[in-house]
Amino acid sequence: MRPGPDASGTLAASVELPIDELLSLARYLTQRRSLGDLLVVIVERCSVMLGARRASIRVLDPQRRALVATCRSGEPLHEDPRPFAMGEGLLGWVAAHEEVIRLADAERDPRFASREDVKERVGSFLGVPLVAGSGCLGVLSFASPELDHFDERDESVALLIAAMVAPHLEVARLARLSNLDPLTGLLNRRGLDALAGERVTDPSFTAVMVDIDHFKRVNDAYGHDVGDRALRLVADALSHSVRRGDSVARFGGEEFVLLLDGADTDVALRIAERARERLAHSYLDVGRNQIAMTASFGVALARPGESVEAAVKRADAAMYQAKHAGRDRVVLSE
């Protein structure tokens, strides 16, 4: 353990606190960064400052019901890092009460939630809430297999870091939300445009335009609530068909766009066909009825120097060819 407070009960800040590291983190936070980049740097630097084997940030989902594993430093403690419900376990308690937990032996605490997929003994634990104007955003936590690893100095450092980073996380979170479609959780048109801007230096991609077949019939026959469910079903099918690193956006109405990183024609067609089949085997339950859902796909491999907008237009033209050819199929742009 590192030394704790001095005899007066206060921290000798100039000696105990990692001033240089904190100033470096503060300078980093003033730069415009994506939420993902911000989280990575925070957990990596925090892990070093506290000498922790593991550090992680879990953020609350949009419904504020569960803490979702977002970023970590060190090996994951769980084989399957599933969400923690609000109030569940140590992390959920920190989020629900917006209070710190520091434990010498986490597994002996009655609030500890044991899971079968834990790789090794948790040991000591430190968790602090990330609180900004909207309330608790998530939890910054540290774990070490060494018992009684974290002291008052570590708690003070963690609280200071949380106070520093939470407002920046809130700004980044709100910026990210402005790029997301609230119905499906996918990128919206603005988010797609922002992604397109990043392609200036990395132009290797394939665009896929997707349009739900006969969507107007679903809205007219069953109402917009069922239509919204249909859109979410399609969004889910598309999201589970692409690879890590690919992007899915709701282009507008019942149209979606996939941007496939570095995918050649064969890979792109295979992904599009996988999405088409997954959707064709998905049904929307409405009372006693099951609504079959299909979509038409147009695929356009980006040409050298071609913009995302131009590739999407060619994919859109190919998608209309799929519509005219009978729907529920994939067509490659010439």
The catalytic residue positions are 254
Residue 54 pairs in a beta bridge with: 143
Q: Say how many residues make up the chain.
A: 334
Residues 6+ apart with CB under 8 A from 49: 18, 21, 22, 157, 161
Structural tokens at position 21:
């590291």
Phi and psi at residue 198, in whole multiples of 5°? -75, -15
Query: 111 Cβ partners below 8 Å, 6+ apart?
Result: 89, 90, 93, 101
The answer to whether the beta carbons of residues 56 and 46 sit under 8 Å apart is no
Return the SS3 of 74: coil
Residue with tokens 């003994």: 121
Tell me the three state secondary structure of residue 117. Answer: coil
